[in-house]
Amino acid sequence: MHATIIPEEWQFEKEVVCFNCQTKATQVVRIKDRQGSVICSVCGAQRHYVIRSVIYGTDTPPMAPVGMKYDAWAFAKTSECLNCKEHARHSVHLDEYKMNVICDECGFSRVLKLDYLVFPHVLSHE
Ligand SMILES: [Zn+2]
Ligand SMILES: [Zn+2]
């Protein structure tokens, strides 16, 4: 049975100091198929990522995000791979410029790059 896999949205949360409001806040990470986002639960600042390349199983995996100004984050998610169709563990690495999603089973990699930022309207309290 080789039904088409409908990509599901993955969601992760990470408690870190926000790049925008500089407070320790839950950052909500969402990844679906060819795009990803990180949204601050306090100030609403958003980073949006779009896919730049797809690598089908290789000995030279894409450069993992290392974090330029901020730490790289790592998550894992077990889900059906869009390539090998296995119910496999996927490694997710991201920093402020890049996201990698890699199937641990077949090496299928999605490389997403920062596309745009959304800064919330800042209200002055003075
Ligand atoms: Zn924030
Ligand atoms: Zn796979």
30-48 pLDDT, tens digit per residue, is 999 899 999 999 999 999 9
**pLDDT the model gives residue 6:** 81
The chain-wide mean pLDDT, for the chain, equals 90
pLDDT at residue 70 in the model: 81
Rounded to an integer, the average pLDDT of 71-97 is: 94
Whole-number pLDDT of residue 57: 80
* CA 86 to centroid of ligand 2, rounded, Å: 6
The ligand minimizing its distance to the Cα of 22 is 1
CA of 46 to the centre of ligand 2 (A): 29
pLDDT per residue as tens digits for the range 52-71: 999 998 666 677 788 778 88
Domain boundaries, the chain: 10-118
What is the whole-number distance in angstroms between the Cα of residue 25 and the centre of ligand 2? 33
For residue 57, give the ligand nearest its CA.
2
Backbone φ and ψ for 26, nearest 5 degrees, come out as -75, 125
- Residue identified by tokens 């949204």 is 39
d(CA 100, CA 62): 8
Task: Give the pLDDT of residue 64.
Answer: 77
Taking the C-alpha atoms of residue 23 and residue 15, their distance in angstroms, rounded to an integer, is 10
Q: Are 5 and 85 in contact (CB under 8 A)?
A: yes
**Does the reported pTM lie above 0.85?**
yes
Q: Count other C-beta atoms under 10 Å from residue 93's C-beta.
A: 19
Residue 125, pLDDT above cutoff 60: no
What pLDDT is stored for residue 5 in this prediction? 76
